[in-house]
Amino acid sequence: MNAAEQAINLEFTSKIATVVNLLKAEFPEIRADLKPWTNDPETLELVDPDSIDIGFHFPGWSKAFQSRSILIQIRFYQDPLSDVRRCIGVEAAGFDHRGKQWQFSTVEEWRCEGEIKPKPESRDKLKQICRKIMEVFNSQGSREQ
């Protein structure tokens, strides 16, 4: 779901801003898009209400990431018994004019897949950023509803 639509309270909004700042600190030229999904009926059917999706766009093609844009999807699970919402993973995908070129997931093996992948040092940065994102959303006080 678009990050702009998931900014439901001050704490959650602050955490979304922290994610944007994490990427901008590493890549100052990147532009954040808090509404990467359009609101047409076909797209809305595919949207995961238990995720925060943020697009990041380079000013041109990024040699380091082998893409022009990166979609970050932060996945959540709300425990019905404790009512605690936790980040259970982060997924990223790199896109260019041909479509998706690579994908990365913190679930299981933490590896990039695709025909074209980011450079090794960029993959390492991406892993560090994903760890930080999970820390941000799983820190104390993460009881968003």
Q: Report d(CA 59, CA 5) in Å as an integer.
A: 25
- Give the pLDDT confidence of 18-53 residue by residue, as tens digits: 999 999 999 999 999 988 876 666 666 666 778 899
What's the DSSP call for residue 2?
B
pLDDT at 144: 46
Q: Which of the pair, 28 or 7, is modelled with greater confidence?
A: 28
Distances (CA, A) of 59 to 16, 30, 82, 111, 145: 22, 7, 43, 26, 35
What pLDDT, in 10s, does the model give residues 127-139?
999 999 999 999 8
Residue 144 resides in a domain: no
Amino acid symbol at 44: L
Q: How many distinct structural domains can be found in the chain?
A: 1
Q: Please tell me the predicted confidence (pLDDT) of residue 26.
A: 92
- pLDDT for position 145: 42
- In a domain, residue 92? The reply is yes
Q: For residue 116, what are its two tokens?
A: 């074209």
Give per-residue pLDDT as tens, 58-101: 999 999 999 999 999 999 998 888 888 899 999 999 999 999 99
Domain hosting residue 32, numbered range:
3-138
Asked if the structure places residue 143 within a domain, the reply is: no
Domain membership flag for residue 9: yes
- 62 within domain boundaries: yes
Is position 60 within any domain? yes
Looking at the domain assignment, is residue 19 inside a domain? yes
**Which pLDDT score is estimated for 143?**
47
Q: Which pLDDT score, from 0 to 100, does residue 83 have?
A: 82
Residue 37 lies in a domain: yes
